[in-house]
Chain A
Amino acid sequence: MTAFSDHLPLEEQIAQWRGFLRRRRAIHGADVDELEGHLRDQVAVLTAAGLAGDEAFLVAVKRMGSLDALSREFAREHSERLWKQLVIAPETAVEAPLARRSEVVVVIALAAVAAMAIKLPSLFGVVIDGDGEMFYPRNLSLFVLPVLTGYFAWKRGLTAARSVALALTFAAAAVFANVFPFVPGSHTEVLTALHLPIALWLAVGVAYAGGHWFAAGARMDFVRFSGELFIYYVLIALGGGVLTAFTILMFQAIGINVEWLTGQWIIPCGAMGAVIVASWLVEAKQSVVENMAPVLTRLFTPLFTVVLLVFLATMTWTGNPIRVEREVLIAFDVLLALVVGLVLYSASARDPQAAPDLFDALQLLLVIAALVVDGVALAAIAARISEFGFTPNRMAALGENLILLANLAWTAWLYAQFLRGDRPFDELERWQTGYLPVYSVWAALVVIVFPLVFGYA
């Protein structure tokens, strides 16, 4: 039950009461205004009858009824309010409707810019999906990430100096992606296409954090943002897939083939614009809906643990060695990345003050199982690495494996300490967020150094 502090001037007491009301999800801003008007009328009548200000306030609040009962009644009448409306109900923000509308305009404009940017090279005769042409895969992130960064720079009011620094980063990235004389279809070229987005994601993060990238909390927020963005993007992509299929089918019905339209326009432009729209949705709903990424983490941590343990047991039982083939390192990289992701996202949703519980123990089990599996795989690979020789692909995969392995090894250590109560959870969180730039720096190395070292092969 809420208690009202005495000895406050009437206005402050009313402000406090408003505050309590506002926190009720079922009671909206306009209702609070209406109820406050009622309270003030009541107070005015009571003071006119001779009560002191605070006495009148207490009586008026009492007559209004308990907040719990009140919000229950409002919830019964306005049950839709308990389902937070994402775009339609703007009550979450105190900001002026004008600012909100101008943001929508900016978002739509930026999404259009990203969608058009991807078609810009067509003017110079570069075709999406052209045979053996790697121009688009190499530059894909350069069409949309600068726009996304610009959105956050605008939204967070980034200083001119920082904006220029970020712009230079993207310019440098564009240079590295395009100046090297890659052998067409070479490994280093594919590696550049894969690693450039990872490197540049850090630039997006800096803009997202408003330039305060070194605050640990800001990094964790960016991790949350990335996870939610991914989920929203997948949802939008599903809708886009339905739209595309529908378009093709409808025009087929009247004997017109529109695959050029879907393949050259709807899909690429939609995929680019969707990044901006999805980012905006994540921004807008931040506090509105429970985050999905941690929920998925909770769901899949036990499942992945079980799969890994069964895999280990099967391997031991049957004695089957890991078949060292071309793709095996990549498979284990994916495994480690998944486990790091699970750790990261469960950390993002965890109350750092909470005591260790069963889920934490499970998480540690998952990390250790992943370490063991990866250790076995690495041992198998190391034994034969000289046979293979160092190709760019293998070098990149091995580097990533070691980076993730180092992360997980220290994570396991910190987790164990945390479970024993020797260290706060906060240290684990700081370790994970502090490690984030390592991924981007490694990716940047792959983009910048690998083509030179391996002769664009």
Chain B
Amino acid sequence: MDLGKDLVAASATPLVLAILTEGDSYGYAIIKRVTELSGGHLQWTDGMLYPVLHRLERQGLVAAKWGISDTGRRRRYYRITKDGREQLAAQREQWRVVDETLHAIWMKAQMA
């Protein structure tokens, strides 16, 4: 099952922010985590993650700095900021409302 483009785009922000609450991370590891968590259902085109990360950085929701990977290469690490956590909480609430609404109507449809 592939998710529609709009849904992927809409879910990208909360997903990235939520993964970063687990600890600082970098692009490739974030993608891997998304695939893991979704059981492979959520497949991002890898490159598209970076513009998203840069947008979050510009909005001050994440902070980034260059570090060195285990193999000695330069790597950009991202960390969620305080604003990012607040934004994540707000989005979580919004998604809960959407989820509950859909859930309610689908349950009703099932019962009918």
Please give the residue numbers on chain A whose beta carbons come within 8 Å of chain B beta carbons, in ascending order. 30-31, 33-35, 37-38, 40-42, 44, 63-65, 69-70, 73-74, 76-78
Contacts and interface: CB of A to CB of B under 8 A. Distances in A.
Contact of B48 (A42, A44, A73, A78): A73
B108 interface: no
Contact of B27 (A34, A44, A76): A34
A40 B74 CA distance: 11
Contacts of A65: 45-48
B73 A40 contact: yes
B35 to A, nearest CB: 11
Nearest to A34: B76
Contacts of B106: none
Given A37-B28, A40-B73, A77 B54 contact: yes
Contacts of A69: 45, 47-48
Interface in B39-55: 45-48, 50-51, 54-55
Given A34-B76, A37-B28, A37-B69, A42 B51 contact: no
Residue of A33, A41, A65, A76 most packed against chain B (CB within 10 A): A41
A64 B27 CA distance: 12
A73 B28 contact: no
A261 B76 CA distance: 53
29 contacts: A31-B50, A31-B54, A33-B74, A34-B75, A37-B27, A37-B28, A37-B69, A37-B73, A37-B75, A38-B27, A38-B46, A40-B73, A42-B46, A63-B45, A64-B45, A64-B46, A65-B46, A65-B47, A65-B48, A69-B45, A69-B47, A70-B47, A73-B47, A73-B51, A76-B51, A77-B54, A77-B58, A78-B51, A78-B54
A51 B74 CA distance: 25
B51 A38 contact: no
A58 to B, nearest CB: 14
Residue of A31, A44, A73 most packed against chain B (CB within 10 A): A73
Nearest to B28: A41
A81 to B, nearest CB: 11
Interface in B9-58: 26-28, 31, 45-48, 50-51, 54-55, 58
B74 A63 contact: no
A30 to B, nearest CB: 8
B55 A70 contact: no
**A contacts with B: majority SS:** helix
Interface residues of B, number: 19
Interface string B70-99: 010111100000000000000000000000
Contacts of A38: 27-28, 31, 46-47, 50
A42 B31 CA distance: 10
A42 B74 CA distance: 15
Nearest to B43: A63
Nearest 9 A-B pairs (CB), nearest first?
A: A65-B45, A41-B28, A65-B47, A73-B51, A77-B51, A70-B47, A64-B47, A63-B46, A38-B28
A63 B48 CA distance: 10
Contacts of B69: 37
A69 B44 CA distance: 13
A432 to B, nearest CB: 46
A34 B50 contact: yes
A77 B74 contact: no
Contacts of B26: 37
Contacts of A37: 26-28, 69, 73-76
Contacts of A34: 27, 50, 75-76
Nearest to A26: B51
Residue of B28, B47, B69, B76 most packed against chain A (CB within 10 A): B47
A338 to B, nearest CB: 48
Contacts of B50: 31, 34-35, 38, 74
Contacts of A40: 73
Contacts of B46: 38, 42, 63-65
Residue of A34, A63, A76, A78 most packed against chain B (CB within 10 A): A34
Nearest to A31: B50
A77 B55 contact: yes
Given A34-B76, A37-B74, A41-B28, A74 B45 contact: no
A150 B1 CA distance: 68
B55 to A, nearest CB: 5
B76 to A, nearest CB: 5
Contacts of B58: 77
Given A40-B73, A41-B28, A42-B28, A35 B47 contact: yes
Nearest to B31: A38
